Structure 1
Amino acid sequence: MAVRITPATVTDIRQVLSDHARYWGERDLRHLHLLALVQEFGETCLVARAADDGGHEGEGGGVLGYLIGFVTPDRTGYVHLVATRDDARGTGLGRELYAAFTEAARRQGAVRLKAITSTGNTGSVAFHRSLGFEVRTEEDYNGPGETRVVFRRALS
Structure 2
Amino acid sequence: MSEVRVRQAAPEDHDRIHPVLDDWWGRPIASVLQSLFLDHFFDTSFVADDEQGLAGFLVGFLSPARPEVAYVHFIGVRPDLRRSGLAADLYDRFFDLARRNGRTEVWAITAPVNERSIAFHRALGFDVTIQPNGPVRFRRPL
TM-score (norm 1): 0.81
Distance 1:23 1:47 in 2: 15
Divergent runs of 4+, >3 A: none
Deviations 1:70-129 (A, max 9, x none): 011322111111010122112111101101111122222211011111112110110000
1:65 to 46, 56, 59: 56
Is residue 2:37 matched to residue 1:37? yes
Name the % identity. 37
Alignment pair present for 1:153 and 2:129 = no
Gap runs ≥5 in structure 2: none
TM-superposed CA distance for 1:19, in Å, is 2.8
Correspondence for 2:107: 114
**Secondary structure of the equivalent of 2:54?**
coil
Pairing of 1:89-128 with structure 2 (within 5 A): 89-128=82-121
Instruction: After TM superposition, list the pairs within 5 Å mapping 1:14-29 onto structure 2.
Output: 14-25=15-26, 27-29=27-29
Q: What is the letter of the counterpart of residue 12 of structure 1?
A: D
- Contact 1:45–1:68, Cα closer than 8 Å, also in 2: yes
CA distance in 1, matches of 2:38, 2:12: 10
Code of the aligned partner of 2:57: Y
Paired with 2:23 and 2:118, the residues of 1 have a C-alpha distance of 20
Q: How many matched pairs?
A: 139
The letter for the 2-side match of 1:126 is A
CA deviation after TM superposition for structure 1 residue 17, in Å: 1.8
Q: Secondary structure at the match of 1:129?
A: helix
Gaps of 5+ in 1: 54-59, 140-145
Task: Tell me the amino acid that sits aligned with residue 59 of structure 2.
Answer: I
Query: What corresponds to 2:47 in structure 1?
Result: 47
CA distance in 1, matches of 2:61, 2:11: 15
